[in-house]
Structure 1
Amino acid sequence: MGKAGYISAEMKRIFKNRYVLLSVCIGILVPLVYAMIMLSPKWGPYDNTDNLPVAVVNNDQGAISDGERINIGEILIASLKENKLLGWDFVSSEEAKNGMDNMKYYMTIEVPEDFSEKALTVLDDEPIKPELKYTQNEGLHFMAAQVTNKAVETLKTQLSAQITATYVENVVSQLKEVANGFTEAADGAKQINDGTGQLKDGSEQILDSLNEKSSDIGRLVDGAKQVEDGNRIMKESLVSKQGDITRLANGAQELNIGTGTLLSNLQNKSSDIARLADGAKQVSDGTSQLVGVLNEKSSDINRLSNGASQLADGASELQSGATELLEGARQAKDGSAQLKDGLNKKILPGSEQLAAGVQQAQVGVNETIESMQNLQVALEQLPNSVDGLKDNVLYKMIMGQLNENLKTVPQKQKDFQRLVNGANELRDGLKNDFTSGVTTLDNGLGQLVEGQQQLQNGASKLADGSKEVAIGNKTVAVGWKELQTNVAKLHDGTKQVKDGNAAVESGWNDLTAGATQLHDGSSQIRDGNKTVESGWQELSAGATKLYDGASQVSEGNQTVKKGWVTLTDGVSQVDGGLGQLSDGSEELYEGLEGGAKRTSSIDPEEENIAMFAEPVVLDGEVINSFPFYRDSNAPYILTLALYVGVLIMSFAVQYRKPVTLPPSATAWFTGKIAKLSMLATIQALMISLYTLFVLKLDVQSSISFVLFSIMVSLTFLMIVLFLVGLAGNIGRFLALAFVVLQLSTTGSALPVDMLPEELRNLSIFLPFTYSINSYRNIITLGNTSNMWENISILLIYFALFAVLSFLVFMFKYRSLRERADFNKEEISESIS
């Protein structure tokens, strides 16, 4: 089935079932019946106000004016009997009270006993306004209360006119007494004229005195201006320097904080400096001991070298003669024994002590170097915590000397390592090679004694050994001297380190003492600058007060000067005014005398008194008036009827269910829109045509009225279709709530401009607002531009809810399609 076939099926569904057709017809007729009931009556709310019962009680006792009795209450009752504005009921106070208690009267109006008496006090010293009392029962009906309020205002106006007329009569009756007063006033004006001449003479004397002192006032003003300028310059100078004084105080504070930090850092590092000095002293003492040991053993090394030389000579001599061999062997045997004994007791322990001492000295030197390196790191980081230390001369000198000493450290470490290696080699050579040689020599000499046959071999070995011993001893002697030289240099370096560290410690102590004095001095500077700042502020405040006082004096003198000039001008004017007063008093005398004559001749007519009582008559016109009261409610009634008709139609016509499974969501939506739009259009045509031709409602344009009704009906259809299509009965409830929301917020009962602000803001977003405004322009106002503006907004509502409705149909169609596919699968499975 295509889209056209589905639309045709939707149309035919209405006519297939007579109950559906009957429901549709009733739904279409509901808005028409509503319009017939609400728009048919032609009476208005003010057409039958004379049926509202209002009690009138007259308790006025009247009053006497110039011998004539006046009763304003009776005049009011007479005028009300001729007035059909309300249903007046003239009763007593008791009857009025009973009627109000029994809810018979909407209002009671009472004229008090002293009403006329108070009305005649208008010319008394303490006039009393008369009061017209009324009691209103607003609870019977709000609109009746508004009508009675208007009636009370009308009565007030009438009574005011009547009282004014009474006032005029009283005033006119007293004008004769006024004429006598004019005569007396004329005599007084004559006396004023005489006194004015005397005042004129006195004012001339005052004017001369003021002119004479004018120059002194000018000099006083100039002097005060100079004082003000001087004080202003002093104030500006003090205020301009306030920032410098504050910066000086802040700088002193920062200086004090910096010196405190420097002092704290110096005091914290004093113990490290002392330990550095002690370590350097220990290094120097250790190298001194090492030098002493080396010098002490120098003679033994020399004897060892000399003995080796002698041994070589003896070996030569041994080879030179066999005769002396035995004797030489014995001597050699003794010499070797002594050599072995000296080696074991002196040379070997001395070499071991030398190696151990050199190693200990190396450890001390390394510790000294490490301490110097740590000192270098600490001194390099010290400027980070002590401001200005990096540029200090003493600090630079200490760092320079320390860096120079540390530069030679690697070379000195290498030299000292060679010294250590030489001492170890000396110890090992003496302990191993030399000891074995001496033992061999001793054994050879023994064998030499034992046998002549081995003499030549022993002599050769002895000669070779003695040569090696001589060479070794010479090497030992040379190494020992180098060791002495290097250790002496090491001792000199450690002594310089000791002396330098002692100087650093002494300089550090001096630096700490100087930093302490610097911190104390900065504290005094800080305190002094605070005192200066406080005093400067007080001085600036005093200068400001002095300047303000001088300004006030200057301004006061300027005021005095202006006042003096004004006073002079005023006296001049007074002098001239007195002249005019003299002339005017004479004219006043003449005028009062003539006024007395004219006042006595006044005799007003009744028309004149009426003019006084009610001098203004309203002359106005009403444009765009309503022929009948129903015309004012027609925009609201037509809007509500069309919306309710579309909502009721949703109960008779299916807004959600399709006739059959539609081929697409678009076909389903188009079919529903075609059917529902036809019904909504029929509703709009029936209401608008009935209103035009049966009720004969007078409109600006009949075609615009019919077309706009169709458009409003279609717009409301889209709103209701979206809500019902989305949520079913809940959507109908929301549609009904949407109507209730708009009943009092869209200009029906009250104009939108008279609503509270929050309701005015809400009415902008409600479609009834624009429907009612457009109907009002089409029926009464004829404002085309305003009408098209409202129509444009309604078109936006139409398009918006049409799109939303289409989206709802697309969503529902997808769900409908899934259920249909599922049912087909179940059927196919059951068949199989």
Structure 2
Amino acid sequence: MLRKEWKGLVHNKLLLVVVVAIVLIPTIYTTLFLGSMWDPYGNLDKLPVAVVNEDKAVSYNDRELNVGEELTDKLREEESLCFNFVDAETAERGLRNGTYYMVITIPEDFSANAATVMDEKPEKMELAYQTNPGTNYIASKMSETAMEKVKNSVAEEVTKTYTQAVFDQIAEVGDGMQDAADGSRDLKDGVNKISDGNRTITDNLETLADSSLTFRQGSDTLRVGLKAYVDGVSTVKDGAGQLDSGAAELKDGAAAAVSGVNELSDGTGTLASGAEELKSGAGTLHAGLSKLDGQIPALRGGVDQLVQGTGALAGGAAQLQTGGTSLKVGVSNADAAMAELCGGLETLRQSTETLPDAAEQLHKGAGVLVEGTEMLEAGSGDLKTGIGMLKAGMETVNGEDGANSQQLADGVSALNQGLDQLYTMLTTGKEGGGSAQNSGEAAAAQSKVDVSDAKAALETLYGVRDGLQGKAGDLEASVDALGSVNPVSADGLEAALEEAVASGDIGQAAAIADQAIAVAKENENAVYEGNSRLESAAAQLRESSSAVREAGESVSAAADAAVQGLDSVDGQIMSGAENRQPSAADAQVMEQVVNAVGGLRDSSELLAEKTAAYTGGVKAAAKKMAVLETGAEALHSGATQTKAGAEKLEAGTDGLSQKTPFLKAGIEQAAAAGGQFRTEAMKPLLNGADSLLDGITGVSDGAGRVKEGAQTLQGKVPELAEGVSQLDQGAGSLDDGAGTLSDGAKRLDDGAKALLAGSGQLYDGAAQLKDGTGSLVSGTGELTANNSTLLDGASQLSEGAGQIQKGAGQLRDGSAELGDGILQAADGSHTLSTSLLDGAEQVKNTKTTDNTVEMFAAPVETNETMITTVENNGHAMAPYMMSVGLWVGCIAFSLMYPLTKYKGKLKSGFSWWLSKASVLYAIAVLQAVAMVLLLHVFDGFDPIEMGRTIGFACLASVAFMSVMYFFTNFIGKVGSFLMLVFMVVQLAGSVGTYPLEISGSFVPYLHKWVPFTYSVEAFRSTISGGESIQNAVIFMIILCVVFTGLTLIEFQLRARKIKAGKHILANWLEEKGLA
């Protein structure tokens, strides 16, 4: 079976190609994958990084500090990354599109922050950098690692700058210590002078102590003498006057003594408090007094200006007081105005409650306005057409050039003439009898003809008149309709805006309304002009039409009456003609005819007047028609434009109705804020104004006092100048004895206080003595009564003298102690001078070099020792990928090669297994050897132990193939699928990339139980020259033996079942397509 297996493989060209391809799978897998990432860390100089330098140079310790420029210069020399120096915009764009993997930004204050190192709160130097992990996470991490090196480099350079600055300052400190040493020598000389002054003071205090002892003895003698004087006072009455004078002198002297002692006490107190300050500043005082003496003239000028300024200050204070009063009044008025404003805001807030409804109504009203303007446009068009028809009717009534009107006037005139003739003839006939009758008949017949003609003409005009009146009525109706529509359209726009304004101070509403009104106003003048002209013409037409109608009705009535009268006269005349015989009845009839003709003539005159009015009205109406037609044309044009403005107003009010709720909320907030402002701001402001006015009053009073003090100061300046000169002269001596005076002044102050108490007692005794001597002069009885008081005063004087003597002794002792302290100070100043000289010498001897600065900037260097060697990332990842490649190659072979088929006769399970194992293990060894050698050829793979690497690769490949052989033979393709899944588990558990300690929490549970763990460790050891691979070899051998044994058992059992003709699992898997 073994020979047939190999023979079948050799003769099956396609299967042979497949086997060769399978052998190369691990090589392809490792060579290509590792080649893509063979040495990324060695090619970091090709990784593009953008650098943006926005830093500005600053001055630090009299030198220019430009850390940003120094950093960019250093990065240009670096090859750790591919640095590109661009602007911020280019860097940002490149980072987003993947041109750059990191952007390093040196901020504007980089050098400025570096210069704050010695400040109380130094600012750290912030070097900003941006990465885009979404473009390439590994590249961003590499950039961050390089960024640490950049950071350390910057820190080293800045530290060098700091170190150099510190050493420069140390040099300056050395110079300062030398100056201090020189000053300490001067101090020593001053202390010696103070010691000499102190000895002088001690000698003087010794003299004072001796003198005070003499004074005490004299006071005791005085007390004894006074006792003797009291005993003999009764015998010295004659000398009482002299004693009184002496007592007065004694009192004055005691008062002077008290005054002097007071001044001494004040002086010693001041001396004690200022002696300590004088001790440290005596030298400075002496120099300052010299300068002060030279500045006295400037002081005089300044005092003069001060006097002038205090005058101006007093005037300004008065004005300030007036202004403060006005301010208080103004604040009060402002508070009242604020209260009124708050009230107005509240009113406005209440008014805005209905503002949204009003805005909505305004919007609806604008819609109604649009509808009205549409009606106005249509009505004005109809009116224009009606006026044209009316004009034609007027021309028909009036006739061509007024012919019809003239005809009517001529007919009425002829009628009047005929009636006059008839009336004359009738009256003449009445008086002349029958001859007249014939004439009357003829005249009556002629008059009847004339009246009939006039009546016919009037009847002709009746129809035209009725048509004219109908047209005039239509015109009046149209004018009335125009008067009711046009005012609504124009006035309605104003009313809508007024309603919007009246509902509240709505600025936004006003803006919207103004926009609509601006459009409407473009055509407003034309509408109003046409409307005015139309109304004027219509009014005149109404008047003319009314006059024509009234005249026509009067003419018609008069003509009817004339015709009726003529008919009556005609009947009467004809009746009289038939009788031919005059009679009394004829006379009566004639009388009636005459009266009727008279009435007819009166009516005819009225007819003439009305006809004239009618004719004039018709002509005037005809003339006004042209004006009326022009007005109608202007009205129609204005109505069209007004309609467009109304439509824009409707659109504007729509936005207004939407914005008014926001306006209402804003007004409510303003009302609330106004009340809060008045409570929190105006009330404290009002109180502050009262306090300010009180303070201004105090300032005004103080200004007056300052003015008086300045004037007094001006008078004392000469004395000050003299005193400064004297003080300058004495300052030198004061400088010598200042130290001694400090302690002595304290003791002198204590003695002066005691002396002050004694001098007060002396003054009291002297006063009592004066009173006693006065009483002695006035009467010896009173002198005797006051003897005891005199003796008490003498005792007190003796006690005060004792206290003075004691205080003088204390001053002497204190001066001696001060002398000891001065000697100690002299020793200390000598020590200080010596130490400062030594320190200055040491500082000068301190030498700094560039190496010293380098040491301060970077005191630590790292020295890495690698116990194993890994040349690059490809060698580091090779153990991981070689294990994966071998495993994938074994899976591919198990899938492609017929492991469960046998050639020839089935002899035994072992023979069957051996025939397959001979090919399988040979392929496992070949793919391992090919993988290592071709990886060396194509990628430069060069492990430390090449032989051990190849040997272990063969062992691992055989072990992996044993596992695949068992599972594929046992459960077919399902086994291969399971091994593929198991490979993923091994990828996670073998920690082939990251250390176990930083891997996922589940990894430790898998790590020891997956083959990849041992293969990766073994390959790492052979590649880098690490420790023994014994454990890995043992694990692989056990893995190979165990699964080979299991496979052999499985083949034995399967062969037995096949020989027995039993159904096996492989058959079922084949039926299901899984074999």
Question: Given the two structures, how large is their TM-score scaled by the length of structure 1?
Answer: 0.47
Question: Given the two structures, how large is their TM-score scaled by the length of structure 2?
Answer: 0.37
